[in-house]
Amino acid sequence: MPSNAEAPPAPTPLRVPVADSHTHLDMQSGTVEEALAKAASVGVTTVVQVGCDLAGSRWAADTAAAHDAVHATVALHPNEAPRIVHGDPDGWSRQGARVPGGDAALDEALDGIDRLAALPQVKGVGETGLDFFRTGPEGMAAQERSFRAHIEIAKRHGKALVIHDRDAHADVLRILKEEGAPERTVFHCYSGDAAMAEVCARAGYYMSFAGNMTFKNAQPLRDALAAAPLELVLVETDAPFLTPMPYRGRPNAPYLVPVTVRAMAAVRDLDEDALATAISANTARAFDY
Ligand SMILES: [Zn+2]
Ligand SMILES: [Zn+2]
C-alpha cells in the first residue's frame, strides 16, 4: 500500500460532540463498529449513512436499525438513475444495472426507495438531485425525473431531503421551487458561492460543508460558509471522499470530522465549542432525530 493511502492520524477530540451529516460507511475499509468507535473517540458520536442505490439504501436502513449512532437516508444517486434507465456501460454500479431497463425499471427502483423511506430509522431521502459533471445530456431526463420523484417521496413521508448538486445549482434550485421543497432540505457537500448561500438561507435550506472547504482553491466555499446563517450550517465527511487538508488524497472517514470543524470555526471566527454546539443542534433538527 503506498504511504499516501494510509489512514490519517486521529485528530484531537472535540469537547462538544457532533454528527457527520453525510457518510458512506459501506465504501470505507474496516467494520461499521470500528468506524463508529473511532469516530466516537474524537467526539463524532452520530453519523448519517447515505444510500446511493437500492441495495445501498437497504444496507443503510439495516445498519441504522442495528446501531443507535447511525441514521439512514435512502435514494437512487443522480448518477444511478440514468444507469437504471439506460444501462451502465462501465459496469461499476453495485446494482449491476448493465442492461437498459427503461422508465419502468426506474419506477420499480423508486418504489423500493419509497418503501424504505417509511421506516423509522430512515431520517432522510437522498442523496438525490442533479449531477451534470458525471452524467451527460443523454442522462438528464432520467436524472430530473428521479429527482422530482424523490422530492415527492420525502414530502409524503415527512423526511429530510438530501441534495447532491454538482455543477447544477440553478436547475436544482428551480426544480425544488417547482416541486415545493420539503420542510427540511440539506445541500450535502455544499458547493455554491456566497450568493447562492443567501438564496439557500432565504429558503431555509441547510448547507453541509465537507473536507473540500479546506482546499487551497476553495475560497468561494469559505465565503459561502461565512455568509451562511449559523443555524443552517452542518458538517460532513462524504467519506471515503473529500479528505480535508492536510490529508487530501488519503482515505476519509467520520473520525476526521474534527479537522473540518476546526477549519470551519476559523472561517467563522468562532470558538470550536460554539460551532460544534450549533452543528450538533442543527443536524438533529435537520434530520429530526
Ligand atoms: Zn453527493
Ligand atoms: Zn455522498
Q: Where do we find the cell 476559523? A: 266
169 is in an annotated binding site: no
* Type and span of the H or E element at 169: helix 169-179
Q: What integer pLDDT is reported at residue 92 of this predicted model?
A: 47
Q: What integer pLDDT is reported at residue 98 of this predicted model?
A: 58
Distance CA 93, CA 225 (A): 33
Distance CA 8, CA 24 (A): 17
Q: What integer pLDDT is reported at residue 236 of this predicted model?
A: 98
CA of 79 to the centre of ligand 2 (A): 11
Distance CA 267, CA 248 (A): 19
- What domains lie within the chain, and their CATH numbers? 25-287 (3.20.20.140)
CA of 172 to the centre of ligand 1 (A): 13
Q: What angle do CA 243, 246, 247 make, to 5 degrees?
A: 40
CA of 198 to the centre of ligand 2 (A): 23
Q: What integer pLDDT is reported at residue 1 of this predicted model?
A: 44
107 is in an annotated binding site: no
Query: What are the residue ranges in the chain where pLDDT is below 50?
Result: 1-3, 92-94
Q: What integer pLDDT is reported at residue 2 of this predicted model?
A: 47
Q: What integer pLDDT is reported at residue 229 of this predicted model?
A: 98
pTM above 0.85, yes or no: yes
- Paired strand residues for 244: none
127 is in an annotated binding site: yes
Hey, is 69 helix, strand or coil? coil
At 245, list the grid cell. 487538508
67 is in an annotated binding site: no
Residue 250 and residue 223 in contact, taking contact as beta carbons nearer than 8 Å:
no
Long-range contacts made by residues 81-86, C-beta under 8 angstroms, separation at least 24?
A: 81/106, 81/139, 81/142, 81/143, 81/145, 81/146, 81/147, 82/135, 82/138, 82/139, 82/140, 82/142, 82/143, 84/109, 84/142, 85/139, 85/142, 86/138, 86/139, 86/142
Distance CA 67, CA 288 (A): 17
